[in-house]
Structure 1
Amino acid sequence: MKSKKSFWIGLGTGIGISLLIVTLYFGIQSVLDFTKTAGLGLIESEYGSQDEKFEDILEKLNTYYHEDINPENMYKEAYRGFVDGVGDPYTVYFSKDEFKSFTEDIDGTYEGIGAYVGFGETKDELLIIAPMVGSPSEKAGLKAMDRFISVDGTDVSGMTTEELVKLIKGKKGTTVVIKVSRNDEVLEYSVVRDEIVVPTVSHEMLENKIGYLRIGGFDRVTETQFLEAFLELEAQNQEGMIIDLRYNGGGLTHVVSAIADELLPKGIIYYTEDKEGNKATVYSDEERQFNKPLVVLVNQSSASASEILAGAIKDHERGVIVGTTTFGKGLVQQPVILNDGSVLKVTVAKYFTADGHYIQGVGIEPDIIAELPELDENATVPEDWDPQLDVAMDTILEMVKK
């Protein structure tokens, strides 16, 4: 009995001494914090609303933070964090200025380094999905699937793609220092920004009258660029066509739908389904279709809209898919404008290929697997070395023979 009494006296004395030490050293507020941490809250009550809690936090920060604070910036970050709480890396908040910057990407011109960026396996992993051909990023040595570490010394962990892009963009002629991780090696590149006029389509006639058409992304200008390239190849009497969607990070769904309509017979291109089960289907008509042999090249960086095109061609059996499994983005976003001009980019639906395949996190499997062998970074290879394209060429020549 005596030992129990001594224990409780000792415990009470210990807590009292601890409170006294904290009070003398840090002040009364730390005492309250200490007691809450120890499970001994002196004053605790529920807030009447979330707004009341925000006001209390702001008041406390104004009182105790060692420097002046910027409430406007805090609210902006609170909006961003609130939306981030949805748990979807593609559903994000934009300020008015941020959304203006975002839309520049799909207009075809901007000042920056020329690279498609996106998330890796988690939203904390930001990747270069693909450098644009001939861009400052490609010239500097950045490569597809490089993982961002920092931009001009700013750690990018936890950022959205929009926040990352804002750091990377800047006036033509200025330099941005980008640190990345590649195969567990940390690398740093100084990239001189330039005006990026996005040439989303390139083409040429290969040997044996095989047309080659590469689509780098589906921007507003892409449909026109595609038609110009396609008609030029047709005018040269191509006997078959290879469409290269490797490193195509996606873009506008109405643009890829228009291109698919030029190639496919009458039928479904893709359809979407929202959380209520409502479906919206996008069709191709019977006015035009491509009836010659067709091969589509894809890889792990073929994402979103490029997967819509590859999936439609595969499901309609209008061509052969060659390469490696695609990225796997089967979600559709839509901008929702708020009263003050700021914007929510919201995932509003899932999309499915014509045969009903949902590719989110899965991707599209090629009909013929063709991988690039791993090479030492310092290895010297011929400029035109492309074993995946070689497989595509062998495949389409066999199709032409038939």
Structure 2
Amino acid sequence: MNPLEEKTELEEKIEQEQKREKKKFWKGVLCGAAVTLCLAVGVGIFCTAIVSGIHIFSSSEKKQVENKLQIIQAIIDKYYLYEDEVDQDALEQGIYAGYVNALGDKYTVYYNEEETDALQESVSGTYTGIGAALLQNTTSNEVVISKVYKDSPAEEAGLKEGDVIYQVDDHAISDQSLDEVVSWIRGKEGTDVTLHVVRDGQQLELKATRKQLETPTVVYEMKENQVGYIAVSEFDEVTLSQFETALNDLESQGMEGLIIDLRSNPGGNLDTVTDMLKLLLPKGTIVSVKDRAGNVEEYKSDGSHEFTKPLAVLVNQYSASASEIFSGAIQDYEIGDIVGVTTYGKGVVQQILDLGDGTAMKITIAEYFTPKGRSINKKGVTPDVEVEYKADENDPTADNQLDKAMEVVGQKMQSDK
């Protein structure tokens, strides 16, 4: 039977659909919402935003789109083969996501409730868990503890690096994804989770009490010849204090030069990166942000903490957004050398808005410029010293880019003597 010949039945179905109260889409898209969410991602501005009175369509356009959606729904209801598998909520969420995706901007994104919760956790840099990093073997699905953080519930419970987790509470691990296993381990603060692990051939049951933890976004150490090394994995809310602690500790150890490693750092909070740069830059503009109306906001340093020792910043092709604000400012003020390869080239700012129902939207709102007025969008920051990473099969720990940064800082330390 040709579906196109059943116009009368289909029209009747559409009339029935119109009488039903399927108004979720228009409540979400056409009515607008009061917005009060403070979040940031990429180089999103961390602020309170309020959106109200949004009018997307005229009444005739609204009716046209609404009718088309109802026709599509009626066709699905009448003809779709796998009718028992239809998820109405997923269809609704798909409408919102598709509407935003149609802008063609990969940085402008719609987040459902679950994604919004995960986003809020990731940008804050805090989570409720046990303080252990996990890895999963893609072949065997074996889940292994790769790191136990100091003073964490995992450490207190006696968990160790290399422990193989085969069960979490009553959940036996078989073919689950790592994300699902992590979701079993995380939970409400103050509650217990029992991890069943294998260590040296022995099965152990270890109980940990979940608590609020900071994501460790900064690691540091003193390398040879009193060269400090600080690696920053992302710019979260917690990163500033971690960076400041690292910088102060290295200074107290007699640091004579510094390497800041931003390789594969995807970015983060705009306020965080500018506050970190205030600990290094002389007096002046750190970055300027320009919106679509031409309004410009400048972030400035007062120069009270200017860093004057030899400095190198390591970057690669995955260093993006806030990492490029950082490296671009260091380069413009000529207080350090950028070492590595050209960065990603994300020179736009996103803001995240709460849509009022537990969902959110990240939207591109502005472009940023380095202290000298350079736009790095789709261009990246070109290093002062270019060196591509080359893996050493005989020595997996070898790092030729870090070696070059050590050389650059070492030469400047010698010239300063």
Alignment TM-score > 0.5, same fold: yes
The C-alpha deviation readout for 1:24-81, integer Å capped at 9, x for no partner, is xxx1415579xxxxxxxxxxxx995111111221122222223143333211111000
**Structure 2 partner of 1:363:** 380
Picking from 50, 68, 90, the partner of 1:53 is 68
Q: What is the CA-CA distance between 1:396 and the residue it aligns to?
A: 1.0
Gap regions ≥5 residues in structure 1? 1-26, 34-45, 116-132, 140-151, 155-164, 175-193
| Structure-to-structure mapping, 1:159-178, within 5 angstroms | 170-172=183-185
| Structure-to-structure mapping, 1:168-317, within 5 angstroms | 170-172=183-185, 198-317=215-334
Picking from 331, 339, 352, the partner of 2:348 is 331
Q: What is the TM-score normalised by the length of structure 1? A: 0.68
Given that residues 302 and 326 in structure 1 are in contact (C-alpha distance below 8 angstroms), is that contact kept between their aligned partners in structure 2?
A: yes
Q: CA separation of 1:308/1:322 partners in 2, compared to 1, >3 Å: closer, same or farther?
A: same
Greater RCO (CA < 8 Å, at least 6 residues apart): 2
Q: Which amino acid aligns with 1:56?
A: I
Larger radius of gyration: 1
Given that residues 47 and 53 in structure 1 are in contact (C-alpha distance below 8 angstroms), is that contact kept between their aligned partners in structure 2?
A: no
**Structure 1 partner of 2:46:** none
Task: Determine the C-alpha separation between the residues in 2 that align with 1:168 and 1:345.
Answer: 28
Given that residues 218 and 243 in structure 2 are in contact (C-alpha distance below 8 angstroms), is that contact kept between their aligned partners in structure 1?
A: yes
SS of residue in 1 equivalent to 2:285:
strand
Given that residues 349 and 365 in structure 2 are in contact (C-alpha distance below 8 angstroms), is that contact kept between their aligned partners in structure 1?
A: yes
Picking from 53, 77, 85, the partner of 1:62 is 77
Q: What is the CA-CA distance between 1:171 and the residue it aligns to?
A: 2.6
**Structure 2 partner of 1:400:** 413
Identity of aligned residues (%): 39
Given that residues 222 and 250 in structure 2 are in contact (C-alpha distance below 8 angstroms), is that contact kept between their aligned partners in structure 1?
A: yes
Picking from 375, 380, 387, the partner of 2:394 is 380
Q: Which amino acid aligns with 2:74?
A: E
Task: Determine the C-alpha separation between the residues in 2 that align with 1:299 and 1:168.
Answer: 31
Q: Which amino acid aligns with 1:396?
A: V
Q: CA separation of 1:217/1:382 partners in 2, compared to 1, >3 Å: closer, same or farther?
A: same
Q: What is the TM-score normalised by the length of structure 2? A: 0.65
Given that residues 214 and 238 in structure 2 are in contact (C-alpha distance below 8 angstroms), is that contact kept between their aligned partners in structure 1?
A: no
Q: What is the CA-CA distance between 1:358 and the residue it aligns to?
A: 1.4
Q: What is the CA-CA distance between 1:299 and the residue it aligns to?
A: 1.0
Gap regions ≥5 residues in structure 2? 8-60, 136-145, 149-161, 163-174, 186-193, 196-207
RMSD of aligned Cα (Å): 3.2
Task: Determine the C-alpha separation between the residues in 1 that align with 2:314 and 2:134.
Answer: 22
Task: Determine the C-alpha separation between the residues in 2 that align with 1:31 and 1:170.
Answer: 50
**Structure 1 partner of 2:360:** 343
Task: Determine the C-alpha separation between the residues in 2 that align with 1:85 and 1:324.
Answer: 32
Task: Determine the C-alpha separation between the residues in 2 that align with 1:207 and 1:272.
Answer: 39
